[in-house]
Amino acid sequence: MLATASFLAYQMWIWCFDRLSARDRRAIGAHIARRPDLPTLHVVIAVDRASEQRVHATLRGLRQQLYPNWRATVILDAAYGITAADAVRQAADPRIEIARDPDAGSPAAAWTVAVAVGVLLRPHALYLIALAAAEHPDATLIYGDEDRIGPAGLRRDPYFKAGYSPELARATDYLGPCVAIRGAAAELPAYRSGDAMTWLRSVTTARAPGGAVRIPFVLYHDALAPRPQPDPPPAPAIPDSALPAVTIIVPTKDRLDLIRPCLDSLLALTDYPPERRELVVVDNGSSDPATLAYLSATESTGAARLIRDPRPFNFSLINNDAAATASGDILVFLNNDTQIVNGAWLRRLVGYAIRDDIGAVGLKLIYPNRRVQHIGIVLCGSTGGDAHVGIATDAPGYRGLAQQTHEVAAVTGACLAVRTALFREIGGFDTEFPGNYSDVILCLDLLARGYRNLVVADVEMIHHESQTRRFFHSNRRLSQAHKAASGLAVARYPDLFRDDPFYNPNLSWWRPYSLAFPPRVTKPWRKSRR
């Protein structure tokens, strides 16, 4: 598991897959010549006091672009800008001008590329941006991968980004210091003075892009010191009077050592009005006298409603039938091998699940030893894998994702919240998946309908992980069932398993968030020669 790619591994990856040869440059030039539909780009470079000394390098990268159809405006504040103005004059390129506002100067362009000083564009960056703009006519925003230039001039710390994540865009600078926005610069918030990254954040959020396109290539190097991330937006807060009713469904069978701490912690710690929550325990054929006595006692106190379902275990059927009796507006599916450690868990789940554009919501799940078990699921070709497994619960993970609420393809059914009406609209858990992949398919059904699935990373829950049933790899029959379910899931959503929209094709399928050798991308200038 990598917080960022190791330096030596990244040097090898660059050597094998990310060098721009003379042959590549010729192919790019030929591709540009065959594409008269590529748009003219207006590059807007915002200069602030902290970065003015680096404007020479940014302009040098701009002049070295293989794509010729661009013009640039360097925005200066009236109080300073001598160094930047000298750099523009030394560049001696008529396509570069100085202005005090981004809409000044040349006629409007269909696409504006907003760049912070300190960004070193790679020679094919504007070509790839123009190509993405032409091939995605509905796009409103384009961004790409990046890395950094170290003190010795070597590339390091690549950031291979997920598909567009509104949650990350609001909470972090993950889109980076170089983004392309559909529309003329006059339509963007004007840069006056101060922090160029603050201006870039306003540019990328003000238009609320609905058609964002990620380019899975390193477009630029960032030569600046790591920038502090903005303060994350406050968690969704709902007053008690407006909290929706919630039904929590917990299937179980025997294993008093699991179900007792699960229910006891839930009832004792959950900070949610008791009159607005319903606890439904589905007893799936328990025979242990102590477990039966505990469940009966819990029911007799009115703390839970008990459903007895003696059928052979079928995760989808058990939960669907229980959900059909639910009175809550929000459903929370919870494993019996979970344990509450943070009283705010339900408020945090509900705060996101209640939103109209959200599908399934999960939590960060941890092992009893405080190591991570789950922070979302990555679709890995023919399977699905939990992200960041085994890292410390307070570790950042890949680019801070382990500490940030963010979109994922799927979350585990061990703790999953969804609006009741939405769950019923899509038909609940698919009964073709009695166990493995039932949660993944539910999430992908929601994703296919345009909903976003989230994992909430700042609230934890202990998960003993599959303690009720043996691991599939230790049982031949369960292993065969897992493989069958995997094949059925991939057949249902082959495009999503081929390219997880919230993962990156430059990252490994086999070790999530490690480098892919080779990456699963095709260089468009090479493809165009076929």
Residue 15: pLDDT over 50: yes
**How many residues appear in the chain?**
530
- Shared domain for 274 and 179, answered yes or no, is no
Residue 170: pLDDT over 60: yes
- Shared domain for 205 and 297, answered yes or no, is no
Q: Is residue 419 part of a domain?
A: yes
Report pLDDT for 497.
94
- Shared domain for 17 and 121, answered yes or no, is yes
Least-confidence region, from 212-226, 348-362, 478-492? 478-492
Report pLDDT for 6.
87
Q: Is residue 525 part of a domain?
A: no
Report pLDDT for 282.
98
Q: Is residue 194 part of a domain?
A: yes
Q: Which residues contact 486 (CB under 8 A, 6 or more apart)?
A: 382, 383, 436, 437
Report pLDDT for 1.
41
Q: Is residue 109 part of a domain?
A: yes
Report pLDDT for 483.
82
Report pLDDT for 317.
97
205 pLDDT band, cuts 50/70/90, is low
- Shared domain for 137 and 253, answered yes or no, is no
Report pLDDT for 523.
95
- In 3D, which of 222, 481, 514, 227 has the Cα closest to residue 380? 514
- Shared domain for 161 and 261, answered yes or no, is no
- Shared domain for 255 and 215, answered yes or no, is no
| End position of a domain, from candidates 222, 254, 281 | 222
HEC secondary structure over 10-58? HHHHHHHHCCCCHHHHHHHHHHHHCCCCCCCEEEEEECCCCCHHHHHHH
Q: What whole-number percentage of the chain has pLDDT above 70?
A: 88
Q: How far is CA 47 from CA 102, 149, 206, 210, in A?
A: 11, 20, 20, 28
- Shared domain for 214 and 274, answered yes or no, is no
**Mean pLDDT of all residues in the chain?**
88
Residue 293: pLDDT over 90: yes
Q: Is residue 514 part of a domain?
A: no
Least-confidence region, from 38-47, 183-192, 432-441? 183-192
- Shared domain for 255 and 212, answered yes or no, is no
225 pLDDT band, cuts 50/70/90, is low
Q: What is the domain range of residue 180?
A: 7-222
Alpha helices in 238-286 (DSSP H): 256-269
Residue 79: pLDDT over 50: yes
Report pLDDT for 96.
87
Please tell me the pTM assigned to this model: 0.91
> CA dihedral in degrees (32, 34, 38, 41; nearest 10)?
30
> How do strand 41-46 and strand 70-75 relate by DSSP bridges?
parallel
| Count of domains for the chain | 2
Q: Is residue 234 part of a domain?
A: no
- Shared domain for 171 and 250, answered yes or no, is no
Rounded average pLDDT over 380-388: 83
76 pLDDT band, cuts 50/70/90, is confident
User: What's the CATH code of the domain at 23?
Assistant: 3.90.550.10
Is the CB of residue 161 less than 8 Å from the CB of residue 502? no
Q: Is residue 229 part of a domain?
A: no
- Shared domain for 295 and 201, answered yes or no, is no
HSE on the CB side for 420, CA within 13 Å? 17
Q: Is residue 62 part of a domain?
A: yes
- Shared domain for 439 and 372, answered yes or no, is yes
- Shared domain for 218 and 263, answered yes or no, is no
